[in-house]
Amino acid sequence: MLVNPCTSILCNTPNSALLSPFPHSKLGSSPSCHRFPRKPEHRSFSCILWRKQSKGFFGIRALEESRVSESVASDDALFFPQSYSVKIPVGDRHILVETGHMGRQASGAVTVTDGETIVHTSVCLADVPSEPSDFFPLYVNYQERFSAAGRTSGGFFKREGRAKDHEVLICRLIDRPLRPTMLKGFYHETQILSWVLSYDGLHSPDSLAVTAAGIAVALSEVPNSETVAGVRIGLVGDKYIVNPTMKEMEESELDLLLAGTDNAILMIEGYCNFLQEEKLLRAVEVGQDAVRVICNEVEALVKKCGKPKMIDAIKLPPPELYKHVEEIAGDELVKVLQIRNKIPRRKALSSLEENVLTILTEEGYVKPDVASGPTETVPDLLEDEDEDEEVVLDGEVDEGDVHIKPTSRKATPLFFSEVDVKLVFKEVTSKFLRKRIVEGGRRSDGRTPDEIRPINSRCGLLPRAHGSALFTRGETQSLAVVTLGDRQMAQRIDNLEGADELKSFYLQYSFPPSCVGEVGRIGAPSRREIGHGMLAERALEPILPSDDDFPYTIRVESTIMESNGSSSMASICGGSLALQDAGVPIKCSIAGIAMGMVLDTEECGGDGTPLILSDITGSEDASGDMDFKVAGNEEGITAFQMDIKVGGITVPIMRKALLQARDGRKLILDEMLKCSPPPLKRLSKYAPLILIMKVKPEKVNAIIGSGGKKVKSIIEETGVESIDTQDDGIVKITAKDLSSLEKTRAIISNLTMVPSVGDVYRDCEIKSIAPYGVFVEIAPGREGLCHISELSSNWLAKAEDAVNVGDRIDVKLIEVNNKGQLRLSRRALLPDTDPGSPSEKQDTGSTTKDIVASQKTAERSSAKKVLNVPKDGLAEGQPDSKVGAPKLGSSHKSTPAEDTLLPQKKFIRRLVGSTRDEHNVNKDTSKKSSSKAISTVSSKDETSLVNGEANIG
């Protein structure tokens, strides 16, 4: 009989007009055997394809003649099974779930729509089970198609490539809640494929993908315990929002993604800005209520169109094997589990496992190299022989010249297999470990349930790195390194929104095999590494300064040097110390801790109350029921992630774990304060310097120049590393030394200055001479006309009578016309500037006297202002020197305090005063220390030198 006739796949042609010209009456009359011509184009037969649950393979049965002659409408009904759809309330709107109209050949396929965001998910499983293992063979792939947002990939091939980091993170979000619901003993490889087919930029697809995967698995043949659904929870003000829009998330204090069943929580992951534990628990309750509604609706849908579960395919080790393993290894396990160090304990357990296998083999229960199991059906490939006709027996399928014929292959019946022994040994070990913790109150390393492992931390290990820290907690060790750079070091992310996102802070986590004493392959980061790195990154993000206060791109590398549990939390602790060592002015220190749990304590000799474990090790993670990572400080939480291995936990259990985690974080933070040597809390001498300037937005093109030629020439001339310009007029100059930084600042100030009438420019070069006057360069690339009548107080026949090309003169700006052209005057700065006196012709000698006299008079004058700074802080004049900005330590005499301060870079984002401010400072103020002078510069000057210092707490 068919497993599910209404969802079977019909292999015949739906239109009777397209059938073979041979009449149906000529087909064989036997219900199990039909004869037909050999030529494929003349074959006419129909068959039903179904999955045989107990054996895990496909069977093919030819239809009887009466079935072939069924109506076209009946054929179409089989070819196009009925589609189902249901609207499910989620928050303040509905999501649409559809199945049966796309991906019908998959074991389960659904399309979930929220607004105009559409996610399609399919579930397929292998026909033949794989080798038994302790890890369910589940594979998840999630992909965001750029066509969903009307775009193409930015790569050369214009198609989606390998999964991006945020796609990998969503794969993990799908995998983690589904895995605990998969029944043990089911070894058919299962694959979940999820695509974003449409994206409206308003409704996030990640929570939809989790829900779609849970529904697809529930509809499929995969045996799972309960239906899974996922939602996102935001917190705007005091309102909790289920599946908030992207605009609402911009104002949210919380980003929580929760997955669970109708009565328990399976997975949570989220980030917040020092949120209190009670607010987080309230958000979990709101999410659990929303998940319950979805699961109830999905269960009703499964009753209508779900496929029968492959329960018969589940193969568990024989129950009597547990008794044999406990009798052989029980006493020795108690001793081995008391070994405190990880590597010796692991080797002792491996040796004990081999001993159990040897004893069972000697007693005849196990024979190596031969695996026991049920009778398998293996297809044999049979080549066609030269015959006119062939007989297709019941259970075969015609595939042209090659037929796949199932044959039986019986394995030698044995009592136990080696794989079963290893699986049972691991379960027995886990049972003994849990029993030791519950009954004895002591863990493998001798700690109590709420005790933290010994902590040691050091900073400044790497002299050339901008910041470094080594954080050690028990047998877990993280080396965190911080690198500071400019905008070019930012991480570019190609997303569906269309605009490339630039991340100025990112943390990269690596887990080499050497950290656990093993040999392994080194390659691209694994999904686990990407997930742990993102968790640590989001945990540290809330303590970073704003881009205005610290405009550096910050990269943190966490390399796990040694691991025995909670290495991602060690990365948070080490990263916090390394940021301080690099001089990043973080808001406070934070720490991370991993919590574990033994849920059912009655089976281990307890009273049934769940036992929460603080700072779990690797074995406690593997044998326990929960891995709950929490990061933050005493005041609140910044990041959290929970995975469980049981059917779910409740809010009261989570509350107990959160409160115990808060106590653990306080202790860890106290130990981090004992860091020796402590973090430097100032910029390294090898870190780049960044100068921020504010110019008028319309002047940005003057800095860039045609095709970027101008900015490239400035970089080559001054030796700075980069000049980054933004459309809003922000200019960031990155350099390794202060002199090149100030030289670049002077050039840009001259290029972008806005001249105003009355400004005086000294020692300006004459670039060219015309019959009506001379052109004077008052700043690099900026010239003005000094008319012949403004060259001298006396009448001149031609300009050459007074000046020549290359001469340097002082001029005053007397007019700026509506075209922006500058009119200059030299006569206005000469001593005899009586406009009523008659003009007289003078020779060149008298003109030279005028020049010398005017320069001496200008030098004696103390009332004239050299630099004019408008409200927007832009330099509008020219200082005494050629450049238009002060050169720290060179353009003015510095006090001893200044000479000491500037090379050491002790100040945090102090404003560098303009020349005008320096000339107006009175003598008493100039005698004060340089640090006070810099800190009291007017805030109107928007040019600033960034040189950070960590400011903790």
pLDDT of residue 793: 87
pTM for this structure?
A: 0.74
DSSP code for 797: S
pLDDT of residue 942: 56
Which residues in 837-934 belong to E strands, given as ranges? Answer: 910-911
Rounded Cα distance, 859 and 857, in Å: 5
Residues 6+ apart with CB under 8 A from 710: 702, 703, 704, 751
CB 591 within 8 A of CB 667: no
Which residues in 745-860 belong to E strands, given as ranges? Answer: 760-770, 773-779, 782-787, 808-816, 822-825
Rounded Cα distance, 499 and 569, in Å: 32
* CA atoms within 13 A of residue 126's CA, in its CB half-sphere: 13
pLDDT of residue 487: 87
pLDDT of residue 943: 62
Q: What is the residue whose two structure tokens read 């990365």?
A: 571
Alpha-carbon 175 to chain mean position: 17
pLDDT of residue 13: 36
Run means of pLDDT, 10 residues per run, the chain, 953 residues: 37 37 37 38 36 36 39 48 90 94 94 96 95 90 92 79 91 95 94 96 94 97 95 95 94 95 94 95 96 96 94 91 92 91 92 92 73 41 39 37 44 69 92 90 89 96 96 96 92 75 92 93 92 96 92 96 94 97 95 94 85 94 93 95 88 94 96 94 92 89 88 91 90 91 88 85 91 89 88 89 91 88 91 50 38 39 34 36 33 36 33 36 37 30 56 49
Rounded Cα distance, 886 and 914, in Å: 7
Task: Give one word for 645, left, alpha or beta, with left for phi > 0 and alpha for psi -120 to 50.
Answer: alpha
Rounded Cα distance, 190 and 175, in Å: 11
pLDDT of residue 115: 94
Domains of the chain: 84-262+272-313 (3.30.230.70), 317-365+414-446 (1.10.10.400), 455-673 (3.30.230.70), 689-752 (3.30.1370.10), 759-829 (2.40.50.140)
CB 307 within 8 A of CB 107: yes
CA dist list (Å): 933 to 115, 818, 879, 910: 58, 40, 20, 10
pLDDT of residue 648: 83
Residues 6+ apart with CB under 8 A from 910: 934, 935, 937, 944, 945, 947
pLDDT of residue 947: 54
Structure tokens at 487: 């905008």
pLDDT of residue 242: 96
pLDDT of residue 780: 73
Rounded Cα distance, 112 and 121, in Å: 8
